[in-house]
A = this chain, B = another copy of it.
């Protein structure tokens, strides 16, 4: 990098909520900022389940990172894979061998799925963290219905039309509700040999309640709403193993055509490359100003950071925390540049929201909890307003209006990896 030595080089790893907010917070700072992400796009993760259930296109919930930062003249964006970090020499290395020096480093590399030490479950039960994950889930769900239509064996058909979602947090609840709706409404008239309504959707949660972090009455409301949609909710059910097309819950075995993992995440392996203490989930134990012990020039934020809130509880891995930490880390870095002391991070909980199907939600805001249609409208408003870019907001609103009126899901396409598509040229091209 041929930048004048007088301007500090700031490298931000990760273009998620945390990394992007930190980069934006430094827009007026006298730095040469480089944001590195393995993807070219930021993804609005809370709506990934909508892509997985064919309600939205990938383009509706994602935007190119360099487009988001196009007017920030002190920022550059690279697409690259960080493979090692030399905290002593202050540089990092990309997968293609490029060496990137830094004066300040901000790591916002996020989390990936966690299978509780059973990584082999991944192939049978993919999670939902990236656009590719969501497209993979969409392909699996739609293919299950296609195969069921052609299946003559009733037991096999029943298996194909069984969908299991593991994990009763917001993503699992939203995914299960959405799957039930597809079967009941969207596909109702499209099949001849099967009745899509006979599809079974099973939501499995190890704890006593779904949406465990919510107040009990909201959690109970969500359960009833899901059950009305036709979802079987299994609480207190710990998954002991996942094999091909099978979920084992204690002594019971569910045969399922599609299994979706929404049960847990673990921190990005990049945290371990910093050579500082981690918690059991692989998260970096950060100082209260979000720097790393012994390295005031390194900040870690978002899902990769482990920090306790004022009440002594660990901060959850949600977008709100990442955004607020990104703002604080950017401000603290700017304070260091000016020779001022850093300030501790204070989390302000703005509340939790989860949707159940097409017109119900639960909202747990500070001092105010509500549910039902009003909560759903509020959920809609909050999510659409937070989507990056005017075009995405407009497109998502149009699509939702369309879905809502017609019960249709607009993006029911099964696309394959390019490699697959090329392999078989003997087939009709539509």
Main secondary structure of the interface of A (DSSP, over half): mixed
How would residues 216 to 251 of chain A score, 1 for a CB under 8 Å from any chain B CB and 0 otherwise? 000000000000000000000000000000000000
Q: Which residues from 363 to 414 on chain A have a C-beta closer than 8 Å to any C-beta of chain B?
A: 391-392, 394-395, 398-399, 402, 406, 408, 410-414
CB closest chain-B residue, reference A272 = B426
Instruction: Count chain B CB atoms within 10 A of each CB in A79, A142, A426 and give the residue with the most.
Output: A426
- Is the C-beta of A78 less than 8 angstroms from some C-beta in chain B? yes
Q: How far is the CB of A407 from chain B (nearest CB, A)?
A: 12
Which residues of chain B are near A76, meaning CB under 8 Å? 149, 192-193
Q: If the complex has contacts A40-B413, A413-B59, A421-B130, are A430 and B395 also in contact, measured as CB distance less than 8 A?
A: no
CB closest chain-B residue, reference A416 = B132
- CB <8 Å contact, A428 and B66: no
Q: Which of B66, B133, B150, B411 is close to A78, meaning CB atoms less than 8 Å apart?
A: B150
- CB <8 Å contact, A132 and B81: no
Q: Which of B40, B64, B430 is close to A15, meaning CB atoms less than 8 Å apart?
A: B430
- Is the C-beta of A153 less than 8 angstroms from some C-beta in chain B? no
How would residues 187 to 210 of chain A score, 1 for a CB under 8 Å from any chain B CB and 0 otherwise? 001111100000000000000000
Q: In whole angstroms, how far apart are the Cα atoms of A394 and B71 in the complex?
A: 30
- CB <8 Å contact, B14 and A428: yes
Q: How far is the CB of A39 from chain B (nearest CB, A)?
A: 5
Which residues of chain B are near A135, meaning CB under 8 Å? 415, 418
Q: In whole angstroms, how far apart are the Cα atoms of A391 and B411 in the complex?
A: 10
Which residues of chain B are near A185, meaning CB under 8 Å? none
- Is the C-beta of A424 less than 8 angstroms from some C-beta in chain B? yes
Which residues of chain B are near A406, meaning CB under 8 Å? 391
- CB <8 Å contact, B41 and A428: no
Q: In whole angstroms, how far apart are the Cα atoms of A149 and B35 in the complex?
A: 13
Q: In whole angstroms, how far apart are the Cα atoms of A78 and B426 in the complex?
A: 17
Q: Which of A104-112, A162-170, A329-337 contacts B (4 or more CB under 8 A)?
A: A104-112
Q: How far is the CB of A409 from chain B (nearest CB, A)?
A: 9
> How many chain A residues touch the partner (CB < 8 A)?
89
- CB <8 Å contact, B98 and A429: no
- CB <8 Å contact, B150 and A414: no
- Is the C-beta of A256 less than 8 angstroms from some C-beta in chain B? no
Q: In whole angstroms, how far apart are the Cα atoms of A97 and B19 in the complex?
A: 51
Which residues of chain B are near A64, meaning CB under 8 Å? 190, 412-413
- Is the C-beta of A417 less than 8 angstroms from some C-beta in chain B? yes
- Is the C-beta of A129 less than 8 angstroms from some C-beta in chain B? yes
- CB <8 Å contact, B430 and A81: no
Q: Which of B43, B108, B426 is close to A269, meaning CB atoms less than 8 Å apart?
A: B426
- CB <8 Å contact, B111 and A429: yes
Q: If the complex has contacts A110-B428, A413-B131, are A190 and B67 also in contact, measured as CB distance less than 8 A?
A: yes
- Is the C-beta of A70 less than 8 angstroms from some C-beta in chain B? yes
- CB <8 Å contact, B133 and A42: no
- CB <8 Å contact, A65 and B413: no
Which residues of chain B are near A430, meaning CB under 8 Å? 14-16, 19, 37-39, 41-43, 65, 110, 130
Q: How far is the CB of A233 from chain B (nearest CB, A)?
A: 29
Q: Rank and list the top 6 A-B pairs by shortest CB-CB distance, nearest first.
A: A109-B428, A417-B417, A59-B411, A132-B421, A38-B427, A57-B57
Residues of A within 8 A of B (CB): 13-16, 19, 36-43, 57-60, 62, 64-67, 70-71, 76-83, 95, 98, 108-112, 122, 129-133, 135-136, 142-143, 146, 149-150, 189-193, 268-270, 391-392, 394-395, 398-399, 402, 406, 408, 410-422, 424-430
7 contacts between A and B (CB under 8 A): A40-B412, A70-B190, A78-B149, A81-B426, A81-B427, A135-B415, A395-B395
Q: A57-B59, A66-B191, A395-B395 are in contact. List 6 more A-B contacts (CB 8 A).
A: A40-B412, A58-B415, A65-B430, A76-B193, A81-B427, A98-B150
